[in-house]
């Protein structure tokens, strides 16, 4: 195997390639690497860099790649990176589900972009209201279309992704889906308490998205140790650099016990963020008035994590300034799967920002 450049030594990379743990993904019975590669961030770097990142993940033993037709260039970059290795990887993607035509169109585009003639796991993307969930089962509707694609072998396994605990629980107990993709990190403990027992009971494959809570958890070791503590959860962190992949793989292969200090650190982060925390899913956007909602929503965290000079000029200042355009219409709150009081939080965070500036 050709070894790549990166921060780890050649022998260490080789050792990891040989050793990377695998797990069974619920009733799909797929043998997946103990960590997957999430496809949102690879839209950000140049195409060559992104392709190199995906290849690096593959070369280090990751065989599970998750993307969506809705993630811009992600599918085509993954398709290019993994060309020639189709039988060695498990491709999971997601698509639109508002109508049978949307299911068909999404699926066709995914096949083209991923350069394949079958999808291992096709997921209804972000079904986060019960009304939307119920509409999947309308006669001649999205579910029937997906099942037809499954019966002709275009889809091997059918899954669903959601940000709503209510919808996810319904989906799991329905036994209509082989996988569920849901945010899973130590800031959302209700998932482990309420959803995981159902997932186990129904033997549904659990793909844990956002192990870093959309960047709210700054320490990779804390985030990964928490998710890896659950044997039935396949963590699917988004990555955009080779170094990130190496760090994550080292954590997968390392000890996963949390020390008392780490437990205390997790608790302190939970307390700091409280229940009013933005998961950075971006579903509230775009704002019709151009407010950069998701950045303003994490202003206090930005002040905690970033150097002051980065927060007092350039793009961050523009993002904060966009908050002045908010007319309090509430459209964003209707789209937030976590029912966050966005208008109130924007006001609070703008105030926080101006106080931080003058301190």
The residues of the shown chain that bind ligand SF4, judged by CB under 6 A, are 278-284, 287-289, 291, 293-294, 297, 326-332, 336, 338, 340, 342-343
Q: Distance (Å, rounded) from C-alpha 197 to C-alpha 193? A: 7
Segment holding 92, helix H or strand E: strand 90-95
Q: Residue 316: which of 306, 325, 324 has the closest Cα? A: 306
Nearest distance, CB of residue 305 and ligand SF4, angstroms:
17
Nearest distance, CB of residue 321 and ligand SF4, angstroms:
13
Q: Residue 24: which of 145, 152, 205, 197 has the closest Cα? A: 205
Closest to ligand SF4 by CB, 121 or 284: 284
Q: Distance (Å, rounded) from C-alpha 24 to C-alpha 186? A: 22
- CA-atom Rg of the chain in angstroms: 20
Q: Residue 121: which of 208, 200, 25, 238 has the closest Cα? A: 25
Closest to ligand SF4 by CB, 155 or 281: 281
Closest to ligand SF4 by CB, 207 or 278: 278
Closest to ligand SF4 by CB, 222 or 291: 291
Nearest distance, CB of residue 255 and ligand SF4, angstroms:
32
Nearest distance, CB of residue 346 and ligand SF4, angstroms:
6
Nearest distance, CB of residue 17 and ligand SF4, angstroms:
36
Between strands 155-161 and 119-124, the pairing is parallel
Closest to ligand SF4 by CB, 49 or 289: 289
Closest to ligand SF4 by CB, 63 or 292: 292
Structure tokens at 181: 């993709």
Cβ contact 16:249 at 8 Å: yes
Structure tokens at 172: 């799991």
Nearest distance, CB of residue 209 and ligand SF4, angstroms:
13
CA dihedral 76, 79, 81, 87 (to 10 degrees): 170
């Amino acid at each position: 195997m050709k070894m790549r450049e990166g921060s780890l030594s050649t022998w260490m990379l080789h050792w990891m390639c040989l050793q990377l743990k695998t797990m069974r993904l619920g009733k799909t019975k797929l043998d997946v690497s103990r960590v997957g590669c999430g496809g949102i961030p690879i839209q950000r770097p140049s195409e060559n860099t992104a392709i190199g990142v995906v290849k690096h993940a593959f070369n280090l033993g990751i065989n599970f790649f998750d993307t969506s037709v809705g993630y811009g260039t992600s599918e085509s970059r993954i398709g290019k990176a993994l060309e020639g290795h189709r039988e060695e990887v498990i491709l999971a993607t997601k698509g639109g589900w508002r109508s049978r035509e949307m299911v068909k169109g999404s699926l066709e585009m995914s096949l083209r972009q991923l350069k394949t003639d079958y999808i291992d796991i096709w997921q209804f993307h972000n079904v986060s209201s019960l009304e939307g969930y119920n509409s999947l089962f309308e006669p001649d509707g999205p579910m029937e279309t997906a099942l037809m694609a499954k019966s002709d072998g275009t889809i091997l396994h059918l899954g669903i992704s959601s940000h709503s605990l209510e919808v996810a629980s319904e989906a799991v107990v329905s036994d209509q889906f082989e996988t569920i993709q849901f945010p899973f990190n130590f800031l959302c403990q209700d998932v482990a308490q309420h959803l995981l027992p159902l997932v186990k009971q129904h033997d549904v494959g659990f793909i844990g998205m956002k192990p870093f809570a959309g960047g709210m958890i700054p320490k990779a070791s804390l985030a990964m140790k928490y998710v890896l503590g659950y044997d039935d959860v396949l963590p699917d962190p988004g990555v955009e650099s080779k170094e990130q992949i190496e760090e994550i793989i080292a954590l997968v292969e390392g000890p996963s016990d949390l020390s008392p200090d780490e437990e205390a650190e997790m608790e302190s982060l939970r307390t700091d963020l409280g229940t009013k925390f933005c998961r950075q899913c971006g579903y509230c956007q775009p704002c019709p008035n151009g407010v950069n909602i998701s950045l303003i929503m994490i202003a206090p965290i930005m002040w905690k994590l970033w150097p002051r000079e980065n927060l007092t000029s350039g793009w961050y200042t523009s993002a904060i300034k966009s908050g002045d355009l908010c007319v309090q219409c509430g459209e964003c709150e209707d789209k937030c799967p976590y029912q966050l009081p966005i208008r109130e939080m924007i006001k609070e965070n703008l105030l926080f920002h101006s106080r931080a500036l003058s301190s």
